[in-house]
Amino acid sequence: MSVQPAPEIDLDDDGRTVTLRADLRAATAIENMPGGIAGAYEGLLSQSFTTIRAVILATATDRRDGQAVLAAIASKPLSSFLSDAQAACLAVLAATLTTGDDDANDASSHGSNDGMSGGEMPLRKYFQTLYGYGTGWLGWSSADTWAASPIEIESAFAAHIDRLVKLTPGASSTEATPEASASNSYNAKRLREIEEQGFDPAFDRHGLRKLKAMS
């Protein structure tokens, strides 16, 4: 599982630039859009300007830059803008969902239900859980948590749990978090398995490869 800062993609148009960032804030904002991330993906594939506009504003590091780029194209044909904007939005959407290195094991995660996860975790719940880990367990500020990529939060939390286990003699890995009794808890044992496998079986990544290929 590789760790990297939240990826950023620059979208340029006639001298104006907006930076799109694949962080937790962007992921949550897109998932909260009508249809969620799946709906955004379909809209981007069809070059829906409404979807492209929404994704730009949801992922822009500076909303004013996003609004300036969108305002500048109001008086000219959209065809000169849509292709580049679609590519940038698909790239940031794919980066938002990337939580580690995909390999052959990825195929086995589709639709998995391994007993630990208790089924597939909805993305909205997954992002909410990551926010709680960042602001609660890790002690990060709200701003720092929103600006981190999902893999940054997952990896930092895994390291935090490992440290707690090592500092607590006789503690089992399943006692490290208050969520351990829940069917979809992220305890130390499960996080280590995620690290070793290279994917998280808590939610289905079916279609992610196709989404990333479009970027």
The pLDDT, as a whole number, for residue 3 is: 61
187 or 128: which carries more pLDDT confidence?
Answer: 128
Q: For the chain, what is the domain count?
A: 1
Q: What is the mean predicted confidence (pLDDT) over 15-21?
A: 93
pLDDT bucket at 15, cuts 50 / 70 / 90 = confident
Question: How many Å apart are CA 66 and CA 44, to the nearest integer?
Answer: 17
* pLDDT, averaged across the chain: 76
Distance CA(142)–CA(134), nearest Å, equals 8
**CA gap 180, 168 in Å, rounded:** 16
pLDDT in tens, 138-173: 999 999 999 999 888 988 998 888 888 887 766 554
pLDDT per residue over 76-134, tens digit each?
Answer: 788 878 999 999 999 999 988 765 444 333 333 333 333 334 456 788 899 999 999 99
Characterise 34 by phi-psi region: left (phi > 0), alpha (psi -120 to 50), beta (else): beta
- The amino acid that residue 53 corresponds to is R
Expressed as residue numbers, the domain containing 102 is: 1-215
Tell me the average pLDDT across 178-197: 50
In this prediction, residue 164 carries a pLDDT of 83
Encoded amino acid at 7, one letter: P
Predicted confidence (pLDDT) per residue in 20-62, tens digit: 999 999 999 999 999 999 999 999 999 999 999 999 999 999 9
Whether 106 contacts 209, CB under 8 Å: yes
Which tokens go with 76? 């000219």
For residue 18, the SS3 value is strand
**Residue whose structure tokens are 């490290």:** 176
Say what the pTM is. 0.69
Q: In the structure encoding, which two tokens stand for residue 143, read together?
A: 């701003």
Note the pLDDT of residue 52.
96
User: According to the model, what pLDDT value does residue 189 have?
Assistant: 57
Which of 146, 56, 143 has the alpha carbon at shortest distance from 93?
56
